[in-house]
């Protein structure tokens, strides 16, 4: 053992430049605590929303499923996913309606605890906030002790506004099969439960950090026994840092067995925006800078791929004057920066495409892959925008536009639409079709900002869905804001009239109405 210790003392001299945490100022990430239960019929909708948010913001949204409250109480052979920590958190924040979400434990205008319809807005708002501290971690499995050994690193880029902070470390597990009440798809005896919180490695309210001024570095180690009922390959470790029982500044997650946030480099876009408007045959050249932060020369594998680009579109990247249409390995000396240019040329086919530039360290297979996405729209005149969870009704729009032989049609998500709109990339779009379906919030402040600009510049808008008016009615359970309500009245020229009771079953059509006047 003494010989092993002596060897380890020599190793760090070659690794001192390596770090689990970035020293550059960063924004907050979003820790979404999804309060759920196996007997909560609407909770599967919450699971999908949480999953979609994590997919939409890779590496920036960490989801933890907290099974707590009355709907998490099992009966018969139902699984019991409750934990003492989950119950403590649930009770502290007064969660009593499910599914409920808490994002970064932040006091949003709608409250700390909000329903699933508000999660997207909460996440988007959280990701815009600066963080005084960055967090990184690594985890390994000690088979002899049957425990996880976890290291957490902090680096403060500015003074923490709350004084002392607290590190929290927990373990969650995916792919637990068991009962789930499901109002949308029918009850499921073999539901695939993911993101299930299993245990905390720290006290539930964290491990105190007292050195929280700019430039401070903190390293802490933790261990957690692996329960025999857990599947190691499905475990992830989550670490987050924030105030005592309060705001979370940053969160990260890694695989429990060998996961790491090792900083292999920094990939930054110099293109101005990740959302671009293109035209057939005209190339877009989008600049990026890759900096080696490993403390030694390194080979990086660089690739560019798109899963949805039309067949006549092309995408390549170039480094040092060499152009590549397949993955390539490039060497970058320690601390230096290499320019990578992404070249995208739309063809004649109308469409929206996402191109993903990835950079991986060839010497550190478990380290995070650096990613930069670019979204390109070309030739689209008629655009269907799907609210989250409204995608099932998208074929109705597609079918109608196809029947009308509208060749300039395309579809996209609300998040991507917002990106194009805020980047001024919707100049060729003439008609928007907002597929709200029965989702909430039906319209958000961000969407209104893009829609008003679109309409003010001559665009046409069609909105369809259920309870859009009610959502702007001011009802205590609705999601409408002053901004969306003003849009509903001033731009849509609409007024909400309550349905009344079920006794009101008649419909009277106005004889002079251009649409309904001749309905028999």
CATH code linked to domain 16-255 = 2.60.40.10
Q: 90: closest CA among 68, 64, 112, 116?
A: 68
Nearest-10 Cα torsion for 220, 225, 231, 237: -20
pLDDT band at 17 (very low <50, low <70, confident <90, very high): low
pLDDT band at 513 (very low <50, low <70, confident <90, very high): confident
Asked if residue 495 has pLDDT above 50, the reply is: yes
- The H or E element containing residue 456 is helix 445-456
Asked if residue 129 has pLDDT above 60, the reply is: yes
Q: What is the pLDDT of residues 399-447, one digit of tens each?
A: 999 999 999 999 999 999 999 999 999 999 999 999 999 988 999 999 9
SS3 call for 468 = helix
Q: The whole model's pTM is what?
A: 0.87
Q: What pLDDT, on a 0 to 100 scale, did the predictor assign at position 275? A: 98
What whole-number distance in Å separates Cα of residue 30 and Cα of residue 63? 8
Q: What is the pLDDT of residues 74-112, one digit of tens each?
A: 999 999 999 999 999 999 999 999 999 999 999 998 899
DSSP string, 84-141: HHHHHHHHHTT--SSSEEEETT--BTTBSEEEGGGHHHHHHHHHTSB-SEEEEEEEEE
Asked if residue 485 has pLDDT above 50, the reply is: yes
Q: What pLDDT, on a 0 to 100 scale, did the predictor assign at position 189? A: 97
Domains 16-255 and 265-378 share a fold: yes
**What residue ranges do the domains of the chain occupy?**
16-255, 265-378, 382-490
CB atoms closer than 10 angstroms to residue 319: 18
Q: What is the pLDDT of residues 136-179, one digit of tens each?
A: 999 999 999 999 999 999 999 999 998 999 999 999 999 999 99
Q: 21: closest CA among 337, 203, 361, 293?
A: 293
What is the rounded average pLDDT for all residues in the chain?
94
Q: What pLDDT, on a 0 to 100 scale, did the predictor assign at position 502? A: 73
Q: What pLDDT, on a 0 to 100 scale, did the predictor assign at position 158? A: 98
Asked if residue 8 has pLDDT above 70, the reply is: no
Full 3-state SS string of 147-200:
EEEEEEEEEECCCCCCCCEEEEEEEEECCEEEEECCCCCCCEEEEEECCEEEEE
CATH code linked to domain 265-378 = 2.60.40.10
Residue 342 is encoded by which pair of tokens? Answer: 């992404």
Q: What pLDDT, on a 0 to 100 scale, did the predictor assign at position 147? A: 98
More confident residue, 515 or 272: 272
Asked if residue 308 has pLDDT above 60, the reply is: yes
In contact, 277 and 425? CB cutoff 8 Å: yes
């Amino acid at each position: 053992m003494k010989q092993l210790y002596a060897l380890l003392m020599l190793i760090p001299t070659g690794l001192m430049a390596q770090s689990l945490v970035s020293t550059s100022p960063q924004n907050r990430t979003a820790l979404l605590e999804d309060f759920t239960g196996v007997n909560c019929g609407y909770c599967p909708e919450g699971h999908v929303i949480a999953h979609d948010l994590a997919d939409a913001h890779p590496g920036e949204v960490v989801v933890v499923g907290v099974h707590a409250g009355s709907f998490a109480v099992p009966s018969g052979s139902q699984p019991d996913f409750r934990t003492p920590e989950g119950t403590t958190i649930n009770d502290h924040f007064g969660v009593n309606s499910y599914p409920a979400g808490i994002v970064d434990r932040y006091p949003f205008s709608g409250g700390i605890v909000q329903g699933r319809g508000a999660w997207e807005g909460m996440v988007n708002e959280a990701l815009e906030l600066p963080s005084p501290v960055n967090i990184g971690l690594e985890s390994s499995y000690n088979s002899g002790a049957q425990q996880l050994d976890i290291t957490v690193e902090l680096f403060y880029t500015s003074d923490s506004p709350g004084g002392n902070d607290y590190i929290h470390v927990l373990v969650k597990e995916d792919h637990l099969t068991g009962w789930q009440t499901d109002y949308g798809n029918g009850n499921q005896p073999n539901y695939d439960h993911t993101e299930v919180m299993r245990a905390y490695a720290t006290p539930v309210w964290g491990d105190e950090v007292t050195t929280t001024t700019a430039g401070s570095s903190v390293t802490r180690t933790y261990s957690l026994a692996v329960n025999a009922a857990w599947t190691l390959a499905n475990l992830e470790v989550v670490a987050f840092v924030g105030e005592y029982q309060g705001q979370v500044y940053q969160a990260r997650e890694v695989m429990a067995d060998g996961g790491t946030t090792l900083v292999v480099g920094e990939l930054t876009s110099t293109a101005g925006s990740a959302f671009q408007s293109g035209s057939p045959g005209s190339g877009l050249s989008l600049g990026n800078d890759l900096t080696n932060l490993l403390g030694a020369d390194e080979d990086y594998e660089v690739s560019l791929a798109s899963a949805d680009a039309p067949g006549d579109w092309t995408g390549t990247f170039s480094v040092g004057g060499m152009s590549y249409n397949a993955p390539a390995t490039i060497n970058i000396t320690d601390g230096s920066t290499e320019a990578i240019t992404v070249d995208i040329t739309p063809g004649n086919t109308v469409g929206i495409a996402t191109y993903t530039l990835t950079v991986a360290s060839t010497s550190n297979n478990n380290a995070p892959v650096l990613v930069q996405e670019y979204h390109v729209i070309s030739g689209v005149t008629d655009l269907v925008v799907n609210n989250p969870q409204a995608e099932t009704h998208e074929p109705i729009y597609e079918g109608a536009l196809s029947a009308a032989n509208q060749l300039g049609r395309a579809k996209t998500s609300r998040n991507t639409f917002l990106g194009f709109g805020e980047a001024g990339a919707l100049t060729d779009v003439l008609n928007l079709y907002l597929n709200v379906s029965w989702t909430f919030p039906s319209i958000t402040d961000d969407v209104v900002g893009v829609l008003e600009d679109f309409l003010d510049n001559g665009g046409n808008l069609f909105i369809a869905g259920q309870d859009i008016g009610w959502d702007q009615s001011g009802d205590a359970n609705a999601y409408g804001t002053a901004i969306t309500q003003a849009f509903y009245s001033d731009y849509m020229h609409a007024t909400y009239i309550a349905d009344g009771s079920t006794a009101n079953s008649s419909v009277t059509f106005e004889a002079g109405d251009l649409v309904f006047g001749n309905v028999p």
